[in-house]
Structure 1
Amino acid sequence: MTSDLLAAYDEQLRREGEIGRADDVREHGPLLWAVFDHGGFVTYRDLGGAEGDAVDSLVEATVAHFRDDTDVASFEWKTRGHDLPADLGERLEAHGLVPEPRETVMVGEAALLAVDVEVPPGVVVRRIEPGPGAAADVARMLEAQESVFGTGRGPSVDSSLAELEAGSSELWIAEVDGRVVSGGRLTPVVGTAFAGIWGGSTLPELRGRGIYRALVAARARSALERGIRLIHSDCTDMSRPILERSGLVAVTTTTPYVWTR
């Protein structure tokens, strides 16, 4: 089962599956270079057997492209644990890219996540709907996420609102007395059986109370209503046990390598 899920992940979610909302995309050998409003991104299904100097050439060309041909402040080369060559990370670092914490790629059936979850009194889980209050809701959600993740490379309020209004992502929040304490996205991947769940950044003082699980369950139910069968997520060591208990499977790991101007 794990090998089938990994094959589906590689086939459906890499390359075009990762950059459907990019502002600009260029192809270079096995790589796709994408530019979003929050920075650059490198995706590929595999490196076509490239090793040694050939890998160095791909990395050098990528750095030169984002440095000289774009105005992005940074770009991310997202590696996976099963990628070859095995020394790819070392070669990226040698060209000035810095690794961020490794996360686990989880994949599984949406139906396994769509369960009833009891949350403490006063916690409200809801979907942000387009309308007059959406901008304020999105701003509060992103502020909460940035306070937890702190990368500074997340989407902007404007781009998030554009996704919301276009229907390309659903934005969900959990509130306590009007304060956003957790938030996350459900992002269907057009042309695939997948949707991604991103975020779930519960504030530290409110963890361990079922809020993250409730936010996941709400998004999974919505995915099923859309006819989506599979869920994927890059998760931290904190959220991985919750998703595993729900039946999702760890198929690989992912480590972002980031170049900053």
Structure 2
Amino acid sequence: MVDIAALLAVYDAQMRIPPGAVPAGVTYEQDGPVLRIVGGHMGRIRAPRDVRVTGAALDRLIARQRDYFGARGQGVEWKVRAHDLPTELPERLAAAGFVPQEPSAVLIGFAEEVAEAPVLPDGVVLRQVSEAEDLQRIAGQQTEVWGFDCSWVADDLVARVAADPGQITILVAEAGDVLICSAWAVYHPTTDFVALLGGTTLPAWQGRGLYRATLAARAREAVTRGYRLLHVDASPHSAPILRRRHFHEITTSTHYQWFPPT
């Protein structure tokens, strides 16, 4: 039996504040209990499980983050887990104009249970990339799949590679010269965790095992590097696949977003 409470405790202890190298152009600013991440395509707020302020003090904390990024002409995203405290945080964010996005399942897998040789469809090649041209192709592929502008993905990946190429593995699956699937893994030093991100497949290639293949390859690399746990904030589409691959849901997360008026 998997001890979900123990996994949640390790996650809360290790994955609340991003460890490791800070990407170029990004700065971390502490404002009381929260970390303000500045310099990306939008602002991000990360916090401990309990921010330890309530009522009017919580309203002021939220407003400071909103107004800080508003002055920069940027939106801001505050990530809230279902077990976060105080319980009034979601309603206070909503009152400040933050809009909740679709919740994700926070899933944890044991790397050794997930690692296996990736199995690919005939004619498909899986390779690791880091050059700017390939990262631009990934951004284009993600834009095509999701239907909105993902050009910022290339900038984010370029910055991560520049900050420390050893802290990220970026994979693409290609059929001839067509990029059909992309995914990456971010290694968090001093923790047990590797974060699995991206995981996007062209619609015509979905259901043919590409996501599972990139999952297996990233898990194998995690084991090789000595990491024990895999973390995914999973969409409703990918969560069933991950559950079949021995991942366990420990909570849910919701991104509350605010954008300045246009």
Equivalent residue of 2:232, what SS?
A: strand
Q: Return the offset for 1:79.
A: 0.7
In structure 1, distance between residues paired with 2:41 and 2:69: 13
Cα deviation, 1:144-174, whole Å, max 9, x if unaligned, reads 1223335646744244224234313111111
2:174–2:180 contact (8 Å) kept in structure 1:
yes
Determine the structure 1 residue equivalent to 2:17: 15
Alignment correspondent of 1:108: 109
C-alpha distance in 1 between matches for 2:110 and 2:122: 29
Instruction: Between 11-20 and 24-33, report the one with greater CA deviation.
Output: 11-20
CA contact (8 A) 2:142 2:150 kept: no
What residue number does 1:75 align with? Answer: 76
In 2: Cα distance, 1:44 partner to 1:18 partner: 17
Q: Displacement of 1:177 after TM fit?
A: 1.7
Structure 1 residues 174, 58: CA separation in 2 closer, same or farther (over 3 Å shift)? same
TM-score by length of 1: 0.90
Residue equivalent to 1:184: 183
Contact 1:110 1:220 (C-alpha < 8 Å) held by counterparts: yes
Q: Give the distance between the partners of 2:12 and 2:22, measured in 1 at CA.
A: 16
* Residues 49, 83 of structure 2: 8 Å contact kept: no
User: Partner of 1:231 in structure 2?
Assistant: 230
The verdict on how the C-alpha distance between 1:26 and 1:162 changes in structure 2, with shifts beyond 3 A counting, is closer
Q: In the alignment, does 2:55 pair up with 1:52?
A: yes
**How far apart, in 1, do the equivalents of 2:29 and 2:147 lie?**
29
Distance 1:114 1:151 in 2: 32
Instruction: Kindly provide the amino acid, as one letter, of the partner of residue 14 in structure 1.
Output: R
TM-score by length of 2: 0.89
Aligned CA RMSD, in angstroms, stands at 2.0
CA–CA distance in structure 2, aligned partners of residues 219 and 34 of structure 1: 26
Please list every run of 5 or more consecutive structure 1 residues that lacks an aligned counterpart in the other structure.
none
Residue in 1 that maps onto 2:158: 161
Instruction: Confirm or deny: 8 A CA contact 2:182 2:199 kept in the other structure.
Output: yes
Query: Which residue, out of 132, 139, 142, partners 2:139?
Result: 142
Equivalent positions of 1:239-250 (< 5 A) are: 239-250=238-249
Deviation at 1:227, TM superposition (A): 1.4
% identical equivalent positions:
35
SS of 2:93's equivalent? Answer: helix
State the partner residue of 1:25: 28
Structure 1 CA distance for aligned equivalents of residues 145 and 101 of structure 2: 15
Aligned equivalents of 1:18, 1:55: Cα separation in 2: 29
AA matched with 1:51: T
Q: Secondary structure at the match of 2:137?
A: helix
For 1:253, the aligned partner's letter is: T
CA distance in 1, matches of 2:125, 2:26: 35
Contact 1:31 1:47 in 2 (8 A): no
Q: Is the counterpart of residue 207 in structure 1 residue 206 in structure 2?
A: yes
Distance 1:260 1:7 in 2: 32
Partners of 2:184 and 2:42 lie apart in 1 by 19
Within 2, Cα distance between the matches of 1:172 and 1:114? Answer: 15
Equivalent AA in structure 1 for residue 154 of structure 2? V
Cα pair 1:39 1:72 within 8 Å, conserved: no
Partners of 2:44 and 2:76 within 8 A in 1 = yes
The alignment status of 1:41 with 2:44, answered yes or no, reads: yes
Kindly provide the amino acid, as one letter, of the partner of residue 42 in structure 1: I
Q: Residue 109 of structure 1 contacts residue 248 of structure 1 at CA under 8 Å; is this kept in 2?
A: yes
Alpha-carbon distance in structure 1 between the residues aligned to 2:218 and 2:21:
21
Q: Which runs of 5+ in 2 are unaligned?
A: none
Report if aligned partners of 2:34, 2:51 keep a CA contact under 8 Å in 1: no
Q: 2:97 maps to what in 1? A: 96
3-state DSSP class of the match of 1:201?
A: strand
